[in-house]
């Protein structure tokens, strides 16, 4: 049986709890992702996909229910431990690539390692170089993030998401802002990482063609999972 990376049990998320404006965005979500799975998360805008992703990504806490990451129940973890767990097990890829513009491509890939270790080292640099090579951007290592095309930036973001060798990568519409060709390249890159390294992916997308090429599709409608 495959190792379980992520498990959500009856997870609810509400905003403005206790106020007249209280709105529940997620209702009783049950979800499991195993190691090596490539899962697509689809659903109309406003259905709660992003909220779900934020909760899974430990950026937000559920109002009720249980969330375990690699067997750790996150309810018992404080802010610092949560930040640490997030840094070590989860990688993020966002729609609007969001590289740090003051740094070069390679430095952006190094960033999660640098944040974790505190100091730069040849080892970190080598690791970043390898990842850039993997996404086919070794040539651009010294380029500032702001001087690269959208597709290139997104590939750097993929490399960055993989820097800490995470168990799970959360991708929030990573191809949403890219032309078809770049989108295809980025998607293929993720698939390849998934195949070769065994990293699990949770991919939020509006593109049904891409979703169909994933191992499993989960549809979120009105804050509930439709199976």
Q: Which residues bind another protein (CB under 8 A)?
A: 50, 54, 57, 59-60, 79-80, 83-84, 86-88, 91-92, 94, 98, 100-103, 107, 110-112, 114-116, 118-122, 125, 160, 164
Q: How many CA atoms lie within 13 A of 32 on its CB side?
A: 5
CB of 190 to another protein, least distance (A): 17
Is the Cβ of residue 48 or residue 57 nearer to another protein in the bound state? 57
CB of 180 to another protein, least distance (A): 26
CB 166 within 8 A of CB 182: no
Is the Cβ of residue 17 or residue 59 nearer to another protein in the bound state? 59
Sequence-ordered list of residues with C-beta below 8 angstroms from that of 80, at least 6 positions apart, any chain: none
Is the Cβ of residue 100 or residue 126 nearer to another protein in the bound state? 100
- How far is Cα 121 from Cα 118, in angstroms, rounded to an integer? 10
CB of 212 to another protein, least distance (A): 28
- How far is Cα 163 from Cα 128, in angstroms, rounded to an integer? 7
CB 74 within 8 A of CB 67: yes
Is the Cβ of residue 7 or residue 86 nearer to another protein in the bound state? 86
Is the Cβ of residue 74 or residue 98 nearer to another protein in the bound state? 98
CB 101 within 8 A of CB 72: no
- How far is Cα 7 from Cα 29, in angstroms, rounded to an integer? 10
CB of 53 to another protein, least distance (A): 10
Give me the helices (H) in the chain, please: 49-56, 79-89, 105-117, 122-134, 150-161, 180-197, 208-212
Is the Cβ of residue 8 or residue 53 nearer to another protein in the bound state? 53
CB of 167 to another protein, least distance (A): 14
SS3 of residue 42 by DSSP: strand
CB of 78 to another protein, least distance (A): 11
């Amino acid at each position: 049986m495959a190792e379980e990376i992520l498990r959500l049990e009856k997870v609810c998320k509400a905003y403005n709890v206790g106020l007249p404006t209280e709105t529940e965005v997620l209702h009783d979500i049950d979800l499991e992702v195993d190691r090596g799975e490539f899962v697509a998360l689809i659903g109309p805008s406003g259905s709660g996909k992003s909220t779900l992703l934020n909760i899974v990504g430990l950026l937000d806490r559920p109002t009720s229910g249980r969330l375990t990451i690699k067997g750790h129940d996150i309810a018992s973890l404080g802010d610092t431990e949560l930040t640490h767990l997030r840094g070590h097990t989860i990688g993020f890829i966002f729609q609007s690539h969001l590289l740090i513009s003051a740094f070069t491509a390679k430095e952006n890939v190094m960033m999660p390692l640098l944040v974790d270790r505190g100091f730069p080292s040849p080892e970190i640099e080598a690791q970043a170089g390898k990842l850039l090579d993997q996404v086919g951007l070794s040539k651009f290592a010294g380029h500032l993030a702001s001087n690269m095309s959208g597709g290139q930036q997104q590939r750097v973001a993929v490399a960055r998401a993989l820097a800490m060798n995470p168990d799970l990568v959360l991708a929030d519409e990573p191809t949403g802002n890219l032309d078809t060709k770049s989108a295809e390249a980025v998607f293929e890159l993720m698939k390849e990482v998934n195949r070769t390294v065994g990293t699990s992916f949770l991919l939020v997308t509006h593109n049904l063609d891409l979703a169909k090429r994933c191992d499993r599709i989960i549809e979120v409608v009105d804050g509930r999972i439709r199976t």
